[in-house]
């Protein structure tokens, strides 16, 4: 893939709980260099990647969601509120082929970001989307992606070169600078460039990453910056992960 060049810049009701065998061991496999684990329940099995996301979104069922709930910080059986969110995400995916953005999920369910965080302590992507059998990968191709088989690309700004993955995320977050953010904003069609409000969010994300060595979830970002869902959508039309984190040179691990 050729380099992209830009100008250098400075600045329902709860489902019944499934039955599974707790003593059934998991099997590890290698596919395209990416670790895949098979989770065996009583009636069927599921393949998940190294981050615990379902490899094939089409293999999802409610048993998968209930089984994985403890892994994302949910105690006990999933409630009707949980199922409303999960089914809304699945319905949107089936209709569009894309994992819905966080503010789309809020609109579909009538929840705000704080409400989603209350239900899914691990966050929207790591909690709700994971239990719904989706990741942000489905936002790009609509099908399961073998991450180990995807090549990396390069993007160049003036005399500086950045390594990005095929979804446009910076591979090494320490390569980030403000010129990269400005170019990435243009690339994802954020008309008007980056305002001071954009930079406030971006700097928060970068400082949080430097402190925690991980990207903060959408709830933490909204709370710290007094953002509501509507303003988040106006600032980053492509969403929190595909927009804000991408411009900040971060991605969810």
Average pLDDT over the chain, rounded to an integer: 81
Which residues make beta-bridge pairs with 184? none
Task: With 0.85 as the threshold, say if the pTM is over it.
Answer: no
The sheet with strand 34-40 has its strands ordered as 27-31, 34-40, 45-49
69-80 mean pLDDT: 95
Q: Which residues of 136-162 are buried (b: 16+ CB within 10 A; e: fewer)?
A: bbbbeeeebbebeeeeebebebeeeeb
Tell me the domains of the chain and their CATH numbers.
Answer: 27-139 (1.10.10.370), 152-247 (no CATH)
The angle at the Cα of 112, spanning 185 to 93, to the nearest 5 degrees, equals 65
Q: What is the largest CA-CA distance in the chain?
A: 58
- Dihedral pair phi/psi, residue 189, rounded to 5°: 65, 40
CA 102 from centroid of its chain's CA atoms? 9
How sure is the predictor about 189, in pLDDT bands with cuts at 50, 70 and 90?
confident
Indicate if the pLDDT at residue 114 is higher than 80.
yes
How sure is the predictor about 155, in pLDDT bands with cuts at 50, 70 and 90?
low
How sure is the predictor about 50, in pLDDT bands with cuts at 50, 70 and 90?
confident
Confidence at residue 7, expressed as pLDDT on a 0 to 100 scale: 35
Dihedral, 142, 144, 148, 152 alpha carbons, nearest 10: 0
Indicate if the pLDDT at residue 77 is higher than 90.
yes
* Percent of the chain's residues with pLDDT above 70: 77
Which whole-number Å values give the CA distances from 47 to 31, 70, 116, 166, 239, in the listed order? Answer: 11, 17, 26, 23, 27
First-to-last CA distance in the chain? 24
The runs of H, that is alpha helices, within 213-242 are 218-224, 229-235
**pLDDT tens digit sequence for 14-39:** 333 333 333 333 333 333 335 889 98
Which whole-number Å values give the CA distances from 21 to 18, 25, 46, in the listed order? Answer: 10, 9, 13
Indicate if the pLDDT at residue 252 is higher than 60.
yes
CA 14 from centroid of its chain's CA atoms? 25
Of the candidates 58, 71, 57, 76, the one whose C-alpha atom is nearest the C-alpha of residue 17 is 76
Indicate if the pLDDT at residue 169 is higher than 90.
yes
Check residues 184 and 21 and name the one with the higher pLDDT.
184
């Amino acid at each position: 893939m050729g380099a992209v060049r830009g100008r250098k810049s400075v600045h329902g009701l709860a489902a019944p709980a499934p039955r599974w065998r707790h003593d059934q061991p998991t099997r590890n496999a290698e596919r395209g260099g990416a670790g895949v684990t098979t989770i065996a329940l009583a009636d069927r099995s599921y393949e998940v990647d190294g981050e615990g996301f379902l490899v094939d979104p089409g293999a999802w069922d409610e048993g998968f969601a209930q089984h994985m709930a403890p892994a994302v910080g949910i105690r006990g059986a999933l409630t009707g509120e949980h199922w409303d969110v999960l089914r809304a995400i699945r319905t949107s995916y089936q209709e569009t082929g894309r994992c819905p953005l966080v503010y789309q999920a809020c609109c579909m369910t009538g929840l705000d970001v704080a409400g989603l965080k209350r239900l899914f302590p691990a966050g929207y992507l790591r909690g709700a989307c994971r239990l719904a059998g989706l990741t942000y990968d489905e936002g790009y191709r609509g099908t399961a992606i073998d991450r180990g088989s995807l090549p990396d690309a390069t993007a160049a700004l003036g005399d500086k070169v950045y390594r990005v993955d095929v979804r446009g995320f910076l591979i090494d977050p320490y390569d980030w600078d403000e010129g990269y953010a400005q170019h990435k904003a243009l690339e994802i069609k954020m008309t008007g460039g980056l305002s001071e409000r954009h930079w406030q969010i971006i700097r928060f994300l970068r400082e949080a990453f430097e402190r925690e060595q991980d990207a903060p979830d959408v709830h933490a970002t909204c709370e710290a910056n007094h953002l509501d869902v509507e303003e988040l959508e106006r600032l980053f039309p492509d969403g929190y992960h595909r927009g804000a984190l991408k411009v900040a040179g971060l991605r969810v691990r």
